[in-house]
Amino acid sequence: MSRTAVRLISVLLSLFPLSHALAAVIYVNVANPTPGAGTSWATAYTSLSSALTAANIGDQVWVAQGTYFPTTTTDRTATFLINKAFSVYGGFNGTETLLTQRNAAFNPTILSGDIGVINDVADNSFNVVTVSNNGSGTTIDGFTIQDGNGNLNYPGSMAVNASNQAGGVLIIAGAANISAAVVDHCTLIDNFGVYGGGVCVYALNAGATAQGTLLHDMFENNTAYVGGGVCVVSLSVGSAAGTGASTDIESCIFNNNTAQGGSAILVDADGNGVGSSNLTLTINNSTFYNNPNAVIYNDQQNGGTATINVTNTIIWQPGGALASSVTYGGPVNFNDCDLGMTTPPTGCTNVDPEFIDPSGNDFELQPCSPDIDAGTGVILVSNTDYAGNPRIQGSAIDLGAYETSKIVTPALSNELDTYCQNSSVTALNETGIDLLWYTAATGGTGNSTAPIPSTTIPGTTIYYVTQTYPGACESPRATVTVTINPIPAPPGTSPVSYCLNSTATQLSATGTNMYWYTTPTGGFGSPVAPTPSTTTAGTTAYYVDQISSTDYCTSARAEIDVTVAVQPSAPSALSPTYCLNVTAPALSATGANLLWYTAATGGVGSPTAPTPSTIATGTTDYFVSQSDGCESPRTDVTVTVDAPPSAPTVVSPAYCLNVAAPALTATGTSLLWYTTASGGTGSTTAPTPSTA
């Protein structure tokens, strides 16, 4: 029966308020000292089998905590039989007035097949619970169902019969009949059946329809020849008419079930060569753990067909993924599942689901499990998970039996960090808890040590960082964008020279936003250019850098050498004296790169030596300097123009022939004697006239 059909039947039942009005609650309490007709807790049955026999369509049987056996005899065929459309609820403490008041976790209600010798499975009931030809509308809710041993004729014969199926719960429909039950919030443990250890849904003969809906159930430590946890059988016998069996499994857990085929589940569609046998199995949001391969077995034979759809389910084994498939036989359609296979089907993953404590039967997902919010949309029978929590709690449904409220640490803020080329930097620093650093937006392994960006090459590098709060999963990755800006070129400079004690001006360079220093590194720069001192000869280095107006990066410092040179000595020069109106030559001095001035200071020197004028008597001062890059002091050259003296006084003597004459004499100073009235060269020695 399809899930839609089950819901349709439920709707139809709701249209008959009279049947609800006639429905009764039948009370069962194995510890009741005054058992009666089961109309109240005070008159509760002590025998569950008696209450089931008394129940009618639409009734509810409320069962208080304790352990119940289907018989007090050793009859292995004894079973808790449900053959009408009524429901059975366990988990009461014996005082409740509302169904919602029960707490099955605190009031364990056990249906046990351990009749006969206690702890001897050989004499246990074949089937603890049997739902047979009830039509529909049956719910079995809140029980631990254990110790059934469906092993009739096994191992000598494995022919299908009611007593070798489902040591736990058998839902069986005979010819032209319907059997349907919802098994909800039950634990099926330590049961054996040749066909299905925990539950078997069995349609036999023409027109038989069997339908099981398994919700929020735990299947643990069940064993079988085939179908350790659940077996679904559709078998045609002796007729061309078809049979059909369907089962919905939702929010269930299968842990440590074993079988030779289908350790957790087997479906057996057998047309038997005489008719059709159709079987459907839907598994949604369930968890399978530690069930040996093959976990699911699809057995189609003799014209039978079986369709298995598995969605949002986790099938995982201790130790990680398996090399082989988790299925055997006919096709199984997986959609958005996490499967313990090396190569899962398309659309499925094989990542560790990260259960909280699978060894302790806690199959909840850890806060950071990759299976949280990893499912796809499906139509669910119940919108609660195994623990009763609502689905969906996040952005999508979770995989597996549990729905988890994923606690994600909030992401850090994205950051922009800017550095200048070749600057010294420390490790990146973010304020957060348990930071992890990555080099990519996804994947990789985080490092708790923050990176130190390199500043040698201009450009942009993106780092990624997360934080993790205690008890929460890792946050999304925030970006830390590190930009290394190029440094500008040093300012343009030229060396400067000054002469000792000369007047200096402020230094200058080509650049913007410049700062001046007296050392090549360190110190504090000044935006005001210095004016060098010229009081001491030598070379002094000054330094200047410039700052970019866009990113404020500072260039390397450029050096400006300021040289203060010593002046050369003044040139040597004679001060000449000229006679009035005598032609004078150009003045001369001993030195290099001479400059001639007409004043002791100021003026502009001329490299051409002046020629003094002699047209007037007196003195005239000229000045001359020499230069070797710096100009020397000026040498004073005094030119004197004197007036000529008066002619000496002479006496013209007369001598006798051949009489020796004395040298001529004259009255005067610095006498010069000539033999001609003009021209010639004077002699300081007075001539002696000849008298011969």
Interval 392-405 mean pLDDT: 93
| Both structure tokens of 307 | 């369709």
The C-alpha atoms of residue 563 and residue 613 are separated, in whole angstroms, by 42
Q: How far apart are CA 394 and CA 372, in angstroms?
A: 8
Residues 190, 149: contact at Cβ < 8 Å? no
- 411, β-bridge pairs: none
User: What CA–CA distance (Å, rounded) separates 286 from 347?
Assistant: 17
Taking the C-alpha atoms of 35, 40, 42 and 43 in order, what is their torsion angle to the nearest 10 degrees?
A: -20
β-bridge partners, 282 = 248, 309
Task: Cite the beta strand spans of 42-159 per DSSP E.
Answer: 60-64, 66-68, 80-82, 87-92, 109-112, 129-132, 138-141, 144-146, 149-150
pLDDT at 148 over 60: yes
Q: Is the CB of residue 66 less than 8 Å from the CB of residue 53? A: no
* The pair of three-digit structure tokens given for residue 164, joined into one six-digit string: 């070798």
Kindly report the average pLDDT of the chain as a whole number.
Answer: 91
Residue 382, number of CB atoms within 10 A of its CB: 17
Evaluate if residue 460 carries a pLDDT over 80.
yes
Q: Strands 478-485 and 459-466, how do they pair?
A: antiparallel
Residue 28 half-sphere exposure toward CB, CA atoms < 13 A: 26
Three-class secondary structure of residue 606 per DSSP:
strand
Query: Residue 228 has what DSSP assignment?
Result: S
Confidence of residue 19 (pLDDT cuts 50, 70, 90): very low
**Which residues, other chains included, contact 675 with Cβ-Cβ below 8 Å and sequence gap of 6+?**
687
More confident residue, 583 or 304: 583
Hey, what amino acid is at 541? A
Predicted confidence (pLDDT) at residue 453 exceeds the cutoff of 90: yes
- Please identify which residue in the block is written with the tokens 């998970």: 385
Name 233's Cβ contacts closer than 8 Å, sequence gap at least 6: 160, 165, 195, 196, 200, 201, 202, 203, 204, 245, 267, 268, 270, 279
Taking a C-beta distance cutoff of 8 angstroms, is the pair 23, 39 a contact? no
**Predicted local distance difference test score (pLDDT) of residue 56:** 96
Q: Are 348 and 337 in contact (CB under 8 A)?
A: yes
When pLDDT is cut at 50, 70 and 90, the band that residue 17 belongs to is very low
| CA–CA gap between residue 437 and residue 14 (Å, rounded) | 59
Please state, in angstroms and rounded to a whole number, the distance separating the CA atoms of residues 517 and 522: 9
Better-scored residue on pLDDT, 149 or 12: 149
Which amino acid is located at 147 in the chain? D
Banded pLDDT at 241 (limits 50, 70, 90): very low
Both tokens of residue 262?
């289908």
pTM of this prediction exceeds 0.75: no
Taking a C-beta distance cutoff of 8 angstroms, is the pair 588, 608 a contact?
A: no
What is the spatial distance between Cα 287 and Cα 398, in angstroms, rounded to a whole number? Answer: 11
Sequence-distant (≥ 6) Cβ neighbours of residue 470 within 8 angstroms? 433
Q: Give the model confidence (pLDDT) of 594-637 as tens digits.
A: 999 999 999 999 999 999 999 999 999 999 999 998 989 999 99
